[in-house]
Amino acid sequence: MTPRASKADFTKTPEFRLLIIAVLVFGLMSVLSPDRFLSAQNLTSMAFQFPEFAILALAMTITMMTGGIDLSVVGVANLSAVVAALILTQFSDPSMPAAQSAFWLSLAITAAMCIGAVAGVLNGALVAFFGLPPILATLGSGLVFTGFAIAMTGGSAVMGFPDAVAVIGNGQVWGIPVPLILFAALAVLLHLILTRTAFGLRVSMYGANPLAALYAAIDINRMLLKVYVIAGMFSSIAGLIIMSRANSAKADYGSSYLLLAVLIAVLGGVNPYGGYGRVIGVVLAVLSMQFLSSGLNMLQVSNFARELIWGVLLILVMVINTNALATLRASMTRSPR
Amino acid sequence: MSSDHDTAFIDLRAITKRYSGVTALDSVDFTVQPGEAVCLAGENGSGKSTLIKIISGVEPATAGTVSIAGQERPVLNPRISAAAGVMVIFQDFSLFPNLSVAENIAFATQLSKHKRFYKSAVTRDIARSALDRIGVEIDLDVRVETLPVAQKQIVAICRALAAKAQLIIMDEPTTALTEKEVRRLQGIIRMLKEEGVAVIFVSHKLAEVLEVSEKVVVLRNGKKVAEGPASEFDTQSLAHHMTGRDVPEVPPSDVEAGAETLMQVAGLTKAGSFSDISFELKAYEVLGITGLLGSGRTSVAKALFGLVAPDEGTITVDGQVTPTGDPQAASMARIGYVPEDRLTEGLFLSQSILHNVTIGRLDAHSRGGFLDMAGLVAEASDWLKRLKVKAPDVTAPVQSLSGGNQQRVALARWLSRAPRVLILNGPSVGVDVGSKADIHDIIRDLAGQGIGIIVISDDLPELLATCHRILVMRDGRIIDTLDGKSVTEDQLARRLAS
């Protein structure tokens, strides 16, 4: 692998801090609720739960690395899922032979991914060619995608899929949950894209200094378009997992995932102003959040309180990461003189 | 002229400032008496801006003490400094272009009074009395953006006066002024001094303000190398102290007679910025473009690289017309552009040296979608070695390098793309004296390899040391073409400012 220098001082990286946090949260929850948190059942159920929002967090990560954000990830996920669900319910039924339903399933998956890509092109075009601030462009487009999904379904859940659909969200391969495999594959893919391709390096560089990227004659528009297409396609994969696990698709599933995805990306050390982010950090943040979330669940903390905790966490992490605090600390150590 | 105050208004003792390993100031003592005008001289990167930042409270000193108005200030920020009467007038004046003259002058004063409502009569009174103090007439109601540069400067001075300035620090006060305007500024400075207001001029071109100053302090590479009464200095001795060199750099060798024309620019025009810019650039040639601040030299440079879209005109490289207004097209035509402001436009500061050098070569090193990392590192290391960049580790962030090395990294980025035409805007801004001479060597060397080079600069010795021909711009037009070998610095300066 490439930079030997950075490996040597891994203990100084933000990712190491995250590793410690993940271990601490895991330890804390194990102590607070040893028989339930550490049970095999809970560990498996966690492995099924987190991939869907973790993949959304990966989508968030790549947009944040350009200094942007994608607030439409949940909208894209639901629209993709609804389109896939409509294809499945229209053209296939549970009594169909396996080969035939597999055909319709792959068609539905392809359609969902296309929706993700098209949504990404739209977001990317708004950001790159029209120069809209990503936060507003994707806030608006997210509402549009959700609106389409509502229009297609009348707001109710679409259900009644062939059995094959359940494999995506509930299946296991050699005892490993399929959603976990999907997440791992996407995480590795994104890591390779960001660190090993020309495109990935340009993403970091643009995020670090957009003006310098312009002066370095980088094709910024094409790069941004690709970034949002990747985010859109990742979101649609998350949407398919949600659909499979819920055995239905609805325009307003996973509404709490947006905040969670932003939180995980920021917690994972991705700089919301762009230029820095590592997939390993995001993965560790996902694990911490899942441990925290299951633990709180077992301690019977209400859902509202959980969202409150997430919100506080997000602000806290961002405050800790700002220079303001470092400056404050520096001035405190200077002041005794 | 000895001062009867026993305490200086500004008294810096043994000030040292380090930025991540770079020593910008090294144990510098510096005093200013009330009513005294001090020239703070030094080349770019000598530490004079850092000194100003410390006095005005923008940056804390790493070591040493700062006293303002007889009081030691262990904690200093811009607000404390301003309350003590230290006002800085930056090169761009930091005025509000959309507000009137009166509002600009009285703005800070009115805000600091914490009155809930804005009273236009009070504003006009404040502005009027400030203008009266220096005996200048400017229409109070005119919007500042419509004023010429010299008058904007006067507005900025009045704003400082209205805020009860005891010391006005002027950053490069004469770079954008014509000779006549400089004389008027000198008159205003004399009046300020009579009122007991001290002035610090920060500049690398001080001849114009030397005669209204009492004291000269020269910095070089962060150290104070000379200090004394202004009467003991002249342009030549200043230059000597600033550069530490007596021998002028060797001028460029001749362009070969049969050199082909690389770039032709015809009738390039952009309303409000520049008009009818036409010139040719040969291989092996270094062409200088100079002019005062606001003459349009930077806009032309940007237009050549597609960063500014001209209304009219063509750019031809190697006989092929290049689409204007598109940096990618320009870079395809093998034009390179090293911008003036390295920190915001040129470099990705937090990114590694490796990434900064190779950003334009990523596609060339892609193998089946993935990057050939070893190849990238090898290419970057090769360029760093050729340009003599002292960098222990290519994965270190580029911001850990000194100014001179940063500039070489910016150069390496374009050189690795094998440019035909290289545009260097302010090639030695913010680099130390030693690196500056090295960069000039690099420029001459590159030209010797057949690259056509355009140097945009207002640093006259730099132009004379590197350029075969020098285009002089004023008000967006080329007003003269001078031969770089026969013209003297004085002639060039006169052509620029007349």
Does B20 contact A at CB distance below 8 Å?
no
pLDDT of residue A330: 61
Nearest 5°: phi and psi at A159? -145, 180
pLDDT of residue B5: 41
pLDDT of residue A56: 95
A202/B362 touch (CB, cutoff 8 Å), yes or no = yes
Q: For residue B493, give the nearest of B217, B280, B235, B277 by alpha carbon.
A: B235
**Local structure of B74: helix, strand or coil:** coil
Q: What is the mean pLDDT of chain A?
A: 85
Chain A CB contacts of B333 below 8 Å: none
8 A C-beta contact, residue B91 and residue B341 = no
Domains and CATH numbers, chain B: 10-243 (3.40.50.300), 261-497 (3.40.50.300)
Q: For residue B334, give the nearest of B260, B443, B420, B451 by alpha carbon.
A: B420
CA A7 to chain centre: 26
B336: part of which helix (H) or strand (E)?
A: strand B335-338
pLDDT of residue A202: 92
Sheet harboring B63-68: ordered strands across? B22-32, B10-19, B63-68, B71-72
To the nearest 10°, report the CA torsion of B161, B162, B167, B169.
-70
Q: How far is B323 from chain A (nearest CA, A)?
A: 14
How confident is residue A5, by pLDDT bands cut at 50, 70 and 90? Answer: very low
Residues 99-138 of B with CB under 8 A from A: none
Nearest CA in chain B to A221: B328
A208-230 pLDDT per residue, tens: 999 899 888 888 999 999 999 99
Say which residue the tokens 């004469």 belong to.
Answer: B174
Chain A CB contacts of B370 below 8 Å: 192, 196-197
Does A333 contact B at CB distance below 8 Å?
no
In this model, does residue A335 exceed pLDDT 50? no
Nearest CA in chain B to A1: B373
A56-86 pLDDT per residue, tens: 999 999 999 999 999 999 999 999 999 999 9
CA atoms within 13 A on the CB side of B146: 10
Identify the residue with better confidence: B486 or A323.
Answer: B486
Does B369 contact A at CB distance below 8 Å?
yes
B14-69 pLDDT per residue, tens: 888 887 656 788 888 988 888 888 988 887 667 888 888 888 888 888 888 888 88
pLDDT, mean of each 10-residue run, chain B (498 residues): 58 83 81 88 78 87 86 83 85 81 81 67 82 81 82 85 86 76 83 87 72 85 85 78 66 71 88 88 89 85 90 88 87 89 85 88 83 86 82 80 82 88 85 77 86 88 87 88 81 78
Q: How far is A23 from chain B (nearest CA, A)?
A: 30
A208/B348 touch (CB, cutoff 8 Å), yes or no = yes
pLDDT of residue B205: 65
Q: Which residues touch A273 (CB under 8 Å, ≥6 apart)?
A: A67, A207
pLDDT of residue A329: 62
pLDDT of residue B6: 56
8 A C-beta contact, residue B261 and residue B317 = no
Amino acid identity of residue B41, one-letter, is A
Nearest CA in chain A to B356: A205
Classify the complex by whether its ipTM is higher than 0.85, answering yes or no: no
Q: How far is CA A256 from CA A64, A71, B51, B160, in A?
A: 19, 12, 52, 53
b/e sequence B430-456, b meaning 16+ C-beta within 10 Å = bbbbebbbbbbebbbebbeeebbbbbb
pLDDT of residue B324: 86
CA angle B220–B223–B226, rounded 5-degree value: 70
B359/A216 touch (CB, cutoff 8 Å), yes or no = yes
Does A1 contact B at CB distance below 8 Å?
no
8 A C-beta contact, residue B214 and residue B230 = yes
Does B327 contact A at CB distance below 8 Å?
yes
Chain A CB contacts of B327 below 8 Å: 214-215, 217
Q: How far is A219 from chain B (nearest CA, A)?
A: 7
Q: How far is B203 from chain A (nearest CA, A)?
A: 28
Chain A CB contacts of B337 below 8 Å: 215
8 A C-beta contact, residue B318 and residue B309 = no
- Mutation for testing the B interface, residue in A4, A194, A196, A209 having most B CBs under 10 Å: A209
8 A C-beta contact, residue B407 and residue B356 = no
Question: Can you give the pTM of this predicted structure?
Answer: 0.76
In this model, does residue A1 exceed pLDDT 50? no
Nearest CA in chain A to B305: A215
pLDDT of residue B3: 42
Does B347 contact A at CB distance below 8 Å?
yes
Residues 247-266 of B with CB under 8 A from A: none
As given in the structure block, the two tokens for residue B190 are 């004399």
The CA distance from B181 to B161, in Å, is 20
Chain B CB contacts of A2 below 8 Å: 373
Does B337 contact A at CB distance below 8 Å?
yes
Domains and CATH numbers, chain A: 48-318 (1.10.3470)
The CA distance from A138 to A128, in Å, is 12
8 A C-beta contact, residue B85 and residue B109 = no
Nearest 5°: phi and psi at A263? -60, -45
pLDDT of residue B2: 41
A297: part of which helix (H) or strand (E)?
A: helix A279-298
Amino acid identity of residue B86, one-letter, is V
